[in-house]
Structure 1
Amino acid sequence: MIRLDKVGKQNGRQIVFIEASAALQKGEKAGLVGPNGAGKTTLFRLLTGQEEPDEGQVAAERGTTIGYFSQDVGEMAGRSVVSEVMAGAGAVSDVAAELKRVEADLADPDKADEMEAIIERYGEIQSRFEELGGYALEGKAYEVLSGLGFSQEMMDGDVGKLSGGWKMRVALARILLMNPDVMLLDEPSNHLDLESLIWLEDFLKNYDGALLMTSHDREFMNRIVGKVIEIDGGQLTTYSGDYAFYEQQRAQNESQQQAQFERQQAMLAKEIKFIERFKARASHAAQVQSRVKKLDKIERVEPPKRRQSIAFEFQLAPRSGDDVVMIKNVHKSYGSRRIYEGLDFSIRRRERWCVMGINGAGKSTLLKLVTGTATPDAGTVTVGGSVKLGYFAQHAMDLLDGDLTIFEDLESSFPQAGQGSLRALAGAFGFSGDDVEKRCRVLSGGEKARLVMAKMLYDPPNFLVLDEPTNHLDIATKEMLITALSNYEGTMLFVSHDRHFLAALSNRLLELTPEGIYQYGGGYTEYVARTGQEAPGLRS
């Protein structure tokens, strides 16, 4: 359906692809993976024709429609959310626009002489509109927007008033409604809550076109793709299977290549030692020459490319008391909206609570009450003795000083720390070499999140409160964080929409619903087993 054949591509001095080949067949669902900067966005732009290859070719079957969702959604203003989505539905939206123009002509008395031709044209367009499912389009648009978490009020409201994250959802809805032959989705799981993520997962499973997507959510990727295309070192390598199979296969391939490399190096060392030992002896001249020729002909095995692995180990945090937080009869409202009425909740040492609930249920409010960044209208929130609190909130990333470099920011936060210690900290969170000289203003969302987390964990608290800590983080950094937090001896309270993170780290779950507040003793895994659902908004 769509393929790259021996593609070469260079951006400035950076070589992105060298004789890279891959194919996406009809109905295939593939994940696109690779380290940051490997060329994933360039590949999407090549497939959509926004860029041309320097060598080789990108080919698609004649008439193939391609829908591309990127993180750059462009301007949106001047119409309702549902109209914005319908306007991006491809051919059907063009036919709808023409239908409106012809309807205006039908009502125009100045065009009475042309009426027979207009009526004939109107019949043709109406037939085409019906053929494309146009009359069901509005209903489908509402259905898609509802699945992505929009309320009726938001759907009919001004698209220009939405935040950047909600505009991303509008852009994604346009592509889903378009229903093209090929969907290219660049991080569609960003900015989605768990309910919307699960809805999108089901939608894509039932989509019968070809799909190529990137995602930092391994669970999401695992459940959708049956093929993985990896970009690394200018090459494209295709693996058959889901993301878990790809990881396993890649590790196995690396292990085999390392073993072959070591065997060959041992053989070469032995041959070279023989040549060096006997090259001056006339009696061994023929043998030496034979071995020299043999070495020249051997195809060298390259060692496997080593991915930069990030590792972070907590220093031992001071021990807190057994009672970490006590919440008694707390009431909290914002204007006329009541969040809590008589909330009682307590957290004990070494418990790891994840908090779940639909949008507006009060997840972030609970974290703010616990950290003292919000106060209850009535009732008490008491933090226990010897509790040292660390709070990761989304707004913390906006508080970084844009004029400071990463290293300067770390130095100002920890003036007593040695340079070597701070460089090791930066390296553990993915900032190696010259990366530490980047100014905070140019950092991506993921880089800012890593920097804020590094600062929070350097002098470890014994009580971590985390609000969506995995937003913006790539899979490798998430894995590092999960590994580090698995070995953490303190107490945790967190909100996350990443199912892998939830299952790996929680041993308690607090569910906030309009009907009441429920607690589960085995964390997210027990919650799924007992409710049969992966998110509160999916329960009947």
Structure 2
Amino acid sequence: MIRFESISKQNSHRILFFEASAVLNRGEKVGLVGPNGAGKTTLFRMIAGDEAPDDGQVSIEKQVTIGYFNQEVGEMSGRSAVAEVMDGAGPVSAVATELAALEAAMADPDRADEMESIVERYGEVQARFEELGGYELEGRAREVLAGLSFSQEMMEMDVGRLSGGWKMRVALGRILLMRPDAMLLDEPSNHLDLESLIWLEEFLKGYDGALLMTSHDREFLNRIVTKIIEIDGGTLNSYAGDYEFYERQRALNEKQQQAQFDRQQAMLAKEIKFIERFKARASHAAQVQSRVKKLDKIERFEPPRRRQTVAFDFPPAPRSGEDVAVLREVHKGYGSRRIYQGLDFKIRRRERWCVLGVNGAGKSTLLKLVAGAAEPDQGSVTIGGSVRMGYFSQHAMDLLDGDATVFESLESSFPQANQGSLRALAGCFGFSGDDVEKKCRVLSGGEKARLVMATMLYNPPNFLVLDEPTNHLDLDTKEMLIRALAEYDGTMLFVSHDRHFLATLSNRVLELTPDGVHQYDGGYSEYVARTGQEAPGLHP
């Protein structure tokens, strides 16, 4: 269906692909993986026709429709979310726009003298709209938006009033409604809450077209894809299986390649030792020459290319008192909307609470109350003795000094630290080489989030309050963070839509529902086993 045939591509002085080949067949669901900067987005752009390979070709079967979702949504305004999603479905969207304009014209008293012709045209357009399945399409568009956590009110809202994250969901909805022959999804799991993520998972499982996607969510990949295409040092390697199978197979391949390389190196060392020992003896001249010729003809094995993996041992957090945070009879609302009415909640030392709840249930509000970023309307929030808190939110990035470089930002936070440990810290969070010299003002949202996280964890507090800490982390950095936090000896309160993060790090669950607040002993995995659901309000 889509073939990469010996493609080569260079970006500036960097070779992204060299004579790389792979294929996406009809109906296949494929995960595209590789380190940051390996060329995943470039590959998508080549399929979409936005870029061309320097050599080789990308061939696509005739009449194949392609839908491409990426992180650059562009300008959106002037239409409702429903209309914007329907716009991705082709000619019917133009008919829907005219229909809406005619409905407005019929309600306009200033155009009474044109009413006969307007009504006549409305009848024609309405018939065309029905013929194209417009009314069913609108229903499907609303279903998609509801699955992506839009309320009815938000569906009717001008898209221009939505935040960047919600516009991303609209752009994703357009592609999902389109149901093309091949769907290219570049990080569709970003900006989604847990409920939307699980809905999208089910949608994609039921999609019968070809799917090529990237994601930094391993659980999401594991549940959808049946094949992995890996970008590794300019090549494309295919693995028949999910992400976990790919990880195991890659590790096995590396082990076998290393063993093959080691065996050959041992053999070469033995041969070279013989040649060196006997090259000056006439009696062994024939044997020496024979072995030299043999060595010249041997095809040398390469050692496996090692992925640059980073690990950082975060220093131990100082001990806090037993009661870390206590909320008593807390009331909180915004305008007429009540979020909490009489909430009682206690966090004790070494507890790791994950907070679950549908969009708008008050997850971030709870974290803000505990962190002191918001005040309760009534009641009290008390932080315990010897508690040193670190609060990560999506707005923490606004506090970075735009004129400082990444390294200067770390240095100003830790003036006593040596340069080597700060560079190691930066490397752990994806800032290697010249990246540490980037000014904070030019960093992407993801890079800013990683820098804030690095600063917080270098000298860790004993109470971490984390609001979606993994949103912008790639798979390797996320794994490093999970490993580090698994060893962390302090207390945690966090919100995350990453189920691997939830399952590995939580030992308590706070569930926010319209029926009230529920507390569960045991972590996220126990919560799923006990309730039979992966998120509040969702049933298997």
The TM-score by the shorter chain falls in which range? over 0.9
Q: Distance in 2 between matches of 1:184 and 1:339?
A: 38
Question: What does 1:357-372 align with in structure 2 at a 5 Å threshold?
Answer: 357-372=357-372
Encode CA deviations 1:327-378: one digit per residue, 9 max, x unaligned: 1111112221111111111111111001111111111111111111111122
- Distance apart, 1:102 and its partner CA: 13
Matched, 1:474 2:474: yes
Give the conservation status (yes or no) of the 8 Å contact 2:312–2:424.
Answer: no
Q: Distance in 2 between matches of 1:84 and 1:527?
A: 37
Give the conservation status (yes or no) of the 8 Å contact 1:312–1:429.
Answer: no
Give the conservation status (yes or no) of the 8 Å contact 1:467–1:494.
Answer: yes
Aligned match of 2:269 = 269
Question: What does 1:316-335 align with in structure 2 at a 5 Å threshold?
Answer: 316-335=316-335
Q: Which amino acid in structure 2 is aligned with residue 469 of structure 1?
A: P
Q: Distance in 1 between matches of 2:58 and 2:389?
A: 53
Tell me, which stretches of 5 or more residues in structure 1 are unaligned? 104-108, 111-117
Aligned match of 1:527 = 527
Q: Distance in 2 between matches of 1:417 and 1:47?
A: 47
Tell me, which stretches of 5 or more residues in structure 2 are unaligned? 104-112, 115-120
Matched, 1:463 2:449: no
Question: What does 1:275-354 align with in structure 2 at a 5 Å threshold?
Answer: 275-354=275-354
Change (3 A) 1:99 1:520: closer
Question: What does 1:180-219 align with in structure 2 at a 5 Å threshold?
Answer: 180-219=180-219
Q: Which amino acid in structure 2 is aligned with residue 380 of structure 1?
A: S
Give TM-score scaled by structure 1 length: 0.93
Aligned match of 1:146 = 146
Change (3 A) 1:28 1:388: same
- Distance apart, 1:126 and its partner CA: 6.2
Structure 1 range deviating more: 384-393 or 200-209: 384-393
- Match of 1:269, SS state, is helix
Encode CA deviations 1:122-156: one digit per residue, 9 max, x unaligned: 79x968x7676444111111111111111111111
Aligned match of 1:355 = 355
Aligned match of 2:251 = 251
- Distance apart, 1:442 and its partner CA: 2.1
Q: Distance in 1 between matches of 2:447 and 2:98?
A: 46
Aligned alpha-carbon RMSD (Å): 2.5
- Match of 1:394, SS state, is coil
Give the conservation status (yes or no) of the 8 Å contact 2:258–2:303.
Answer: yes
Aligned match of 1:44 = 44
Q: Distance in 1 between matches of 2:102 and 2:471?
A: 47
Question: What does 1:48-447 align with in structure 2 at a 5 Å threshold?
Answer: 48-90=48-90, 92-93=92-93, 133-447=133-447
Q: Distance in 1 between matches of 2:326 and 2:135?
A: 56
- Match of 1:538, SS state, is coil
Q: Distance in 2 between matches of 1:424 and 1:458?
A: 10
- Distance apart, 1:96 and its partner CA: 6.0
- Distance apart, 1:95 and its partner CA: 6.9
Aligned match of 2:117 = none
Structure 1 range deviating more: 439-448 or 350-359: 439-448
Encode CA deviations 1:231-271: one digit per residue, 9 max, x unaligned: 11111000000011011111111111111111111111111
Change (3 A) 1:101 1:323: closer
Give the conservation status (yes or no) of the 8 Å contact 2:7–2:21.
Answer: yes
- Match of 2:537, SS state, is helix
- Match of 1:137, SS state, is helix
Encode CA deviations 1:46-105: one digit per residue, 9 max, x unaligned: 1111112222121111100000001111111111111111111135446767999999xx
Q: Distance in 2 between matches of 1:68 and 1:217?
A: 19
- Match of 1:88, SS state, is helix
Q: Distance in 1 between matches of 2:301 and 2:492?
A: 47
- Match of 2:244, SS state, is helix
Q: Distance in 2 between matches of 1:95 and 1:14?
A: 47
Q: Distance in 2 between matches of 1:261 and 1:130?
A: 67
Give the conservation status (yes or no) of the 8 Å contact 1:329–1:343.
Answer: yes
Q: Which amino acid in structure 2 is aligned with residue 472 of structure 1?
A: H
Q: Distance in 1 between matches of 2:380 and 2:388?
A: 19
- Match of 2:319, SS state, is coil
Aligned match of 1:106 = none
- Match of 2:344, SS state, is strand
Give TM-score scaled by structure 2 length: 0.93
Aligned match of 2:483 = 483
Structure 1 range deviating more: 435-444 or 472-481: 435-444
Q: Distance in 2 between matches of 1:158 and 1:132?
A: 25
Q: Which amino acid in structure 2 is aligned with residue 198 of structure 1?
A: I
Q: Distance in 1 between matches of 2:157 and 2:101?
A: 25
Aligned match of 1:497 = 497
Give the conservation status (yes or no) of the 8 Å contact 1:99–1:126.
Answer: no
- Match of 1:36, SS state, is coil
Give the conservation status (yes or no) of the 8 Å contact 2:83–2:93.
Answer: no
Structure 1 range deviating more: 307-316 or 462-471: 307-316
- Match of 2:89, SS state, is coil
Aligned-pair identity in percent equals 77
